[in-house]
Structure 1
Amino acid sequence: MRAAISVIAEKGTAGLRMSDIAARAGMSTGHILYHFGKKDRLLLEVLAWSQADLWTRFQQAADQAASPAEKLDLFVRFYLPRHPGDERYALWTQVLTQHHDEAGRQVLTELLDGWDERLEAILREGRDLGQFTDVDLPEFTVRAVAMLSGLSEDVMFGRPRWQHASVHTFALSALERELRPTGQ
């Protein structure tokens, strides 16, 4: 899976060959084809594996967080790409541009919904503890994730506006402004 992510980040999906992944993983192309069948399935499987790994690391960090505000900070950190060549985010962009059958669309929907569910849980906890204002959770989540996705595109593209500013700080500040309880 790691070999596939690195090859996809380097070549994109258009130039991706199963033989490149096999060579990077130290396996035969037949072995890769046996397990995945075709490239589209491989990409979805790698994306699902990558997200499971990311969410495990996020949950471990969130379990150590002292407050919903710290969990929100972690959510933003884990959501945004780290740099323009971020392999995980490159994989997302490559997979999202492919045409998928119903089963593939279902996998992608579940992965995307996973981000929403994690954010809503943080918001609900913060609201219940009185640390966040009472917002419409689904509506706020849609706006927050849309903003983070747009900022992620800026990072992946390498927009110069982020050379001297932190995209993480910008995003977190925007979310916190809306979540700040009245009077604080």
Structure 2
Amino acid sequence: MARARTNRRMDRPREQVLEAALAMIGEQGLGTVTMASLAARLGTSGGHLLYYFGTRDGLLLETLRWSEQQYAVQRAPLVEQAAAGEGSLAAVLAFAEVYLPLDDRDPRWLLWLELWARAPYDPELASAQGELDAGWHRDLVALLRAWLPGITDADALSDRLRAMWDGFAISIVNGGGTMLREAVVEHTRATLERHV
């Protein structure tokens, strides 16, 4: 017997779809997120999702952008401190905490890593990831300059820190979990204390 589709109307269609996609990635991995499985989870039709996002890749790219907007909101108070000239080691460490995966099931990082691997073959995705990276870089440079006003190359220090965090992030989501995350923050502290 065929199951009837409810095709319910969503209150916040775009956000609800993106929230559900990110939740599915964290729970089951990116491979299970299809338009059909996402539509079933939301009680709507695949056609409804196609109307908003066009393709699965379009949906995943929008999910990444939306997720990164949430993290931009989290780091905004730190950037405001930097703009007021109130940078500190604690603020940079707090920035690292926002940057790093929460644990080995962090859906933002699972999505990011999957799309990162596709970027060399997809110019739109590569461009979007470049823009998102540039935002993290810009904010970290502002924080570093506020905390270390005499630093000669905040851009290079930002590049080194983010490269270190990216490398450790891969290890965190590949099973390193929260203990490795805590160790990364301490590695960051040790690296930055050499600049004081």
TM-score category by the smaller chain? Answer: 0.7 to 0.9
Segments of 5+ residues of structure 1 without an aligned counterpart are: none
Q: Which residue identity does 1:123 align to in structure 2?
A: L
1:81 to 79, 91, 101: 101
TM-score (norm 1): 0.83
- Percent of aligned positions with the same letter in both sequences? 29
Report how far residue 106 of structure 1 moved: 1.1
In the alignment, the residues of structure 2 paired with residue 87 and residue 102 of structure 1 have an alpha-carbon distance, to the nearest angstrom, of: 23
2:172 to 150, 155, 179: 155
Give the conservation status (yes or no) of the 8 Å contact 1:81–1:156.
yes
**1:115 aligned residue:** 136
Deviates most, 135-144 or 148-157:
135-144
1:18 to 26, 35, 59: 35
In the alignment, the residues of structure 2 paired with residue 86 and residue 139 of structure 1 have an alpha-carbon distance, to the nearest angstrom, of: 28
SS in 1 for 2:103: coil
**2:64 aligned residue:** 47
Report how far residue 61 of structure 1 moved: 5.5
Q: Which residue identity does 1:177 align to in structure 2?
A: E
The structure having more radius of gyration, on CA atoms, is 2
SS in 2 for 1:179: coil
SS in 1 for 2:30: coil
Segments of 5+ residues of structure 2 without an aligned counterpart are: 1-17
Report how far residue 63 of structure 1 moved: 4.2
In the alignment, the residues of structure 2 paired with residue 42 and residue 4 of structure 1 have an alpha-carbon distance, to the nearest angstrom, of: 8
TM-score (norm 2): 0.78
**1:170 aligned residue:** 186
SS in 1 for 2:71: helix
